[in-house]
Amino acid sequence: MSIVLVGGHDRLHSEYKGVGSQRGHKLKIYTQMPTKFNKAIGHPDAIVLFTSTVSHKMVGVAVKEAKKKGIPIVRCHNSSLGSLEKSLLELESTSK
């Protein structure tokens, strides 16, 4: 499953990728807003939002794209590795 992770900490980038690959997912991680973020999101299977470490504008763009493309969103206030794993478990259970 391809997943876009919006938010989180720069220093945990490789750990987030590791958690995703352990569970068999390909993660695209955006901890800061890039140029043309709406286009950079692409067409993932799901979006995980870490709301505590991301700007309101970035959340708005991600939610707008998700609604437009019918992409499921999981919101999580915490941006820890455990929270990511829990969010991935939630996505896996809903996709079955």
C-alpha 10 chain-centroid distance: 14
Stretch 19-26: mean pLDDT:
94
The answer to whether residue 80 scores a pLDDT higher than 80 is: yes
Mean pLDDT of 5-11: 94
Domain boundaries, the chain: 2-95
Give yes or no for a contact between 43 and 16, defined as CB atoms under 8 angstroms apart.
Answer: no
Residue 96, pLDDT > 70, answer: no
CATH number given to 2-95: 3.40.50.720
Supply the Cα-derived Rg of the chain in whole angstroms.
12
